[in-house]
Amino acid sequence: MGLRHDISREFIAVPDGAKGQLLFKWPDHQIRRFTSAIVDVDELAIFISQGRVIGLLQPGRHQIDATELPFLGDVADKLSGGNAYDSELFFVSTHEFPDLTFGGPVDSVRDPETRLVVQLRAYGDFSLQVVDPAALITKLTGSVDLADPSAVVAWASDQVLKAVRTVVVGHVVNDEWPVLGLASRTPDIEAGTVLAANQALVTYGIRVNRLGNVTVSVSDEDAEQLRTLARDTAYTALTGSFGAYAQGEALLGAGKGMANGQGGGNEALGIASLGLGAGVLGAFAGAQQPAAPVPARVAAPAASAPTAPAATATAAPVVAPAFCSHCGHSLAAGALFCSACGTAVPAAQ
C-alpha cells in the first residue's frame, strides 16, 4: 500500500477540447485519492461540497491527498475506506474572453421628438473575465447549469443586454435623447453599459472589461415612420401651419405629375413644376391674386382723312372667365395649373 501511495494513479486536468471555455466541471464527484490535479497557468481549481467552497488550487501540479490538502479530510468517503473524496471540482479560466456577443430587444420607448412609441433593439460584443472564481461558482449554483459553459456565457450576455436597456431607456426618457440620433451617442452608451453591467456582476465574481460594435436601432418600419413624421413636423414649422404645408404638398404632387408627362406634353408646365419645391407657398399665394385688367385698345386716327368725323373708340374685347375642367374652380388669368386641385391647365390653342 505504501508504494501505491507514492504513485499517481490518475491525472485530472482540463481536456484540450475545453481549454477555451470559461469553466470546466470535472465529471466525477468521487475523486480518487493520490490523483494528480494539473492546474494550468491561467486557471484555478475549486473544490465545492454542499454548495460551499472547501478548497482552492493555484496553478501547478497537486496530489489529491488530505495530507497535502487538509481540507479534503472533511469530505473523505468512508464507504471507500478513505480512498476517495466526495466533492465537485471546477476549473475556472482567469484570462480575458473577448468577442462574446449579446443582442435582442431592449424596450418600447416614446421618442421625445416625434412622440411615437417604437421598439428598440441592441446588439454588440463584449469581453468577460473571472475575477473571483469562488463567487462565480457559489452564486450561480442552482441558477445556471455550471456543467454547460455556454450557459454561463449566455447568462452574462443577458446581463449586458439588461445594462444596455437601463442606460439607453434612461437617457431617452430622462435626457430626451432622440431615437434617430442614438448612433452619435455610442461612446456614452458603451461607457454607461460597462459601469451598469459591472455593478450587477460584481457579486458573481465576473467583470466586463469592454464593449464594442454596440448598435441600438429600431425596426425598418419604425425608422421610416420616425423620418416621415420628423420631416412633416419640420415642414409644418417652416410653413406656419399644417394646412399650408398640406397645400404645398398638393402643389408639389401636381408639379411632379406634370413633369412626368401628365400635363398634356407642355414642357413649360414641367419646368414650372420643378420650381415649386423652392417656393411652394409663394407660388400658391401668387396664383390667388386677381389678374390685372387688360387695357382697352384705342384705334389711332388715320392721317389721310383729316376732315372725317371723329371715330368712336373701339371697346376692348371681353375675356370670358375660365374654369378648371377637373374641379370647376375659377382659374386666374395665365395660370398654368388649378390653384385648388393642381390639375394642369391645357395650353391655349
CA atoms within 13 Å, Cβ hemisphere of 64: 29
Cell numbers at 296, concatenated: 382697352
Domain residue ranges of the chain, discontinuous segments joined by +: 2-93, 97-220
Q: What is the pLDDT of residues 2-61, one digit of tens each?
A: 434 444 457 899 999 998 899 999 999 899 999 999 999 999 999 999 889 999 999 999
**Higher pLDDT among residues 248 and 13, named by residue:** 13
pLDDT band per the 50, 70, 90 thresholds, residue 311: very low
**Higher pLDDT among residues 304 and 77, named by residue:** 77
Q: Is the pLDDT reported for residue 282 higher than 60?
A: no
Cell numbers at 121, concatenated: 433593439
Q: Edge to edge, what strands does the sheet with 60-63 contain?
A: 11-12, 36-39, 60-63
Percentage of the chain exceeding pLDDT 90: 45
Strand partners, 23: 92
Helix, strand, coil percent content, the chain, rounded in steps of 5: 40, 25, 35
Grouping H, G, I as helix, E, B as strand and the rest as coil, residue 137 is helix
Task: State the DSSP code for 303.
Answer: T
Burial class of residue 200 in the structure, from the number of CB atoms within 10 Å of its CB (0-12 exposed, 13-18 middle, 19+ buried)? middle
Who contacts 339 (Cβ-Cβ below 8 Å, separation ≥6)?
Answer: 284, 287, 288, 329, 331, 332
- The pLDDT value recorded for residue 260 is 60
CATH topology of domain 97-220: Tetrahydropterin Synthase; Chain A (3.30.479)
Q: What is the pLDDT of residues 95-144, one digit of tens each?
A: 999 999 999 999 899 989 888 888 999 999 999 999 999 999 999 987 89
The region, left, alpha or beta by phi > 0 then psi within -120 to 50, assigned to residue 79 is alpha
Question: Interior CA angle at 250 toward 245 and 252, to 5°?
Answer: 90
Percentage of the chain exceeding pLDDT 70: 69
**Higher pLDDT among residues 255 and 110, named by residue:** 110
Query: pTM of whole model > 0.75?
Result: no
Q: What is the mean pLDDT of the chain?
A: 78
pLDDT-wise least confident of 128-137, 231-240, 257-266: 257-266
**Higher pLDDT among residues 77 and 284, named by residue:** 77
Cell numbers at 261, concatenated: 408627362
H and E: helices and strands count for the chain: 8, 14
Q: Is the pLDDT reported for residue 149 higher than 60?
A: yes
- The pLDDT value recorded for residue 269 is 43
- The pLDDT value recorded for residue 198 is 97
Who contacts 160 (Cβ-Cβ below 8 Å, separation ≥6)?
Answer: 102, 126, 193, 197, 208, 211
Cα 103–chain centre separation: 10
Highest mean pLDDT (candidates 176-180, 208-212, 218-222, 309-313): 208-212
Whole-number Å distance between alpha carbons of 140 and 204: 7
**Count of residues making up the chain:** 349
Cell numbers at 128, concatenated: 468577460
Cell numbers at 310, concatenated: 371723329
Whole-number Å distance between alpha carbons of 66 and 136: 25
Q: Which residues of 112-140 are buried (b: 16+ CB within 10 A; e: fewer)?
A: eebebebebbbbbbbebbbebbbbbbbbb
**Higher pLDDT among residues 259 and 1, named by residue:** 259
Q: What is the pLDDT of residues 156-174, one digit of tens each?
A: 999 999 999 999 999 999 9
Q: Are 119 and 218 in contact (CB under 8 A)?
A: yes
